[in-house]
Structure 1
Amino acid sequence: MKSLKHLLTILSFFALSFSYAQVSVNVNIGTPPSWGPSGYNDVRYYYLPDLETYYDVNTSNYIYVSNGKWIQSRSLPRAYRNYDLYNEYKVVLTDYRGNRPYDNYKVHKVKYGKGYKGGPQKTIGQKPGKGNNKHSHDDHDNGHGNDKGHGNGHGKGKH
């Protein structure tokens, strides 16, 4: 009987710990990066036409082709590591549901080719280091900023 009480106590501890961990893990999921376009807090994907890359807001992963396969990564490919995402145009995929936005890649690539610009677009937050032209794509403050971001002055990219 004593060992049964001990086992139940241990199981209760693990169950409580697991449920607490679940709550704390989910707090930041789905928070757009500061370089994301303002006004779209409930979207999951952006398409970055100049990079031919998707960004998954829920997982904070970039999705792009590498060696002929779609991969998800926390960072961009080496060739784009110093790319300024605050000035990159973001197409907001408002009508897409699911986990594979690249299923529509051929359509997106044609419709939003490299150099594509829509109407005015502001970022959620300000570019760090005002006056500093270098920006790391890994600089996600995951805050919602003050909406005085400096986009490139081109479109919301609503799709």
Structure 2
Amino acid sequence: MKNLKIILFIFSIFLANKIQAQNEEDKAQNDENVIYEDVIDRSTLKYNNATQCQIRYYYYPNIEAYYDILKEIYYIKEEGEWTVVEEIPINFRGYSVYNNANVPVDDYEDDSITEMFPIHKKRFGYITKEKVRKKLIGSE
């Protein structure tokens, strides 16, 4: 009888660990499938008459990231994969005041902005301290 109790005890510990592992796996999978709803009203976005697009995104060339105005989230590239975050991690790619330089994306307004990355990387390029200073004092 004592052996049976020991076996049942070990089995219950094993079962509890298995259930906990499954719960953690389910939680991680749910975190990946988060659907971000529009937070901002689309009608408040600026509009570019030349491209016929609303300005929904800002591109940060120095850290190769996007900000979605509608959903108030960032798309950043970590280890070669695009990740959605609510704020740029501290010291992400040496993030600083100069890396905060951004440009409005006036040629795309759909949901898959990361597909445009090769085009935007080539079009906008790295923003130097000099470019930021010229932009701030308006001498450009």
Give the TM-score normalised by structure 2: 0.50
Report % sequence identity. Answer: 25
**Secondary structure of the equivalent of 1:78?**
coil
Higher CA-based Rg: 2
1:29 corresponds in structure 2 to 40
- Aligned AA (1:56): D
Contact kept in structure 2, 1:88 and 1:152, CA below 8 Å: no
Give 1:88 deviation, angstroms. 3.2
Find the partner of 1:102 among 111, 114, 122. Answer: 114
Structure 2 gaps of 5+ residues are 1-36, 48-53
Contact kept in structure 1, 2:75 and 2:84, CA below 8 Å: yes
Q: Supply the distance in 2 between the matched residues of 1:99 and 1:52 (Cα, whole angstroms).
A: 17
Regions of 4+ moved over 3 Å:
39-42, 151-155
In structure 2, relative to structure 1, the CA distance for the partners of 1:115 and 1:100 (3 Å cut) is same
Which sits farther off after the overlay, 75-84 or 89-98?
75-84
Cα RMSD (Å): 3.5
1:16 corresponds in structure 2 to none
Q: Supply the distance in 2 between the matched residues of 1:78 and 1:70 (Cα, whole angstroms).
A: 17
**Secondary structure of the equivalent of 1:47?**
strand
In structure 2, relative to structure 1, the CA distance for the partners of 1:72 and 1:107 (3 Å cut) is same
Q: Supply the distance in 2 between the matched residues of 1:152 and 1:104 (Cα, whole angstroms).
A: 30
In structure 2, relative to structure 1, the CA distance for the partners of 1:29 and 1:79 (3 Å cut) is same
Find the partner of 1:84 among 90, 94, 97. Answer: 97
Q: Which structure has more strand as a fraction of its residues?
A: 2
Q: Supply the distance in 2 between the matched residues of 1:154 and 1:88 (Cα, whole angstroms).
A: 19
Comparing both chains, which one has the higher relative contact order based on Cα–Cα distances under 8 Å and sequence gaps of 6 or more?
Answer: 1
- Aligned AA (1:67): E
In structure 2, relative to structure 1, the CA distance for the partners of 1:154 and 1:79 (3 Å cut) is farther
- Aligned AA (1:29): I
Q: Which structure has more helix as a fraction of its residues?
A: 2
Say if 2:65 is the partner of 1:53.
yes
In structure 2, relative to structure 1, the CA distance for the partners of 1:47 and 1:67 (3 Å cut) is same
Contact kept in structure 2, 1:89 and 1:154, CA below 8 Å: no
- Aligned AA (2:123): K
Q: Deviations over 1:39-98 (max 9, x none)?
A: 94752101011111110001111101112211111111332386337x833211112021
Say if 2:124 is the partner of 1:112.
yes
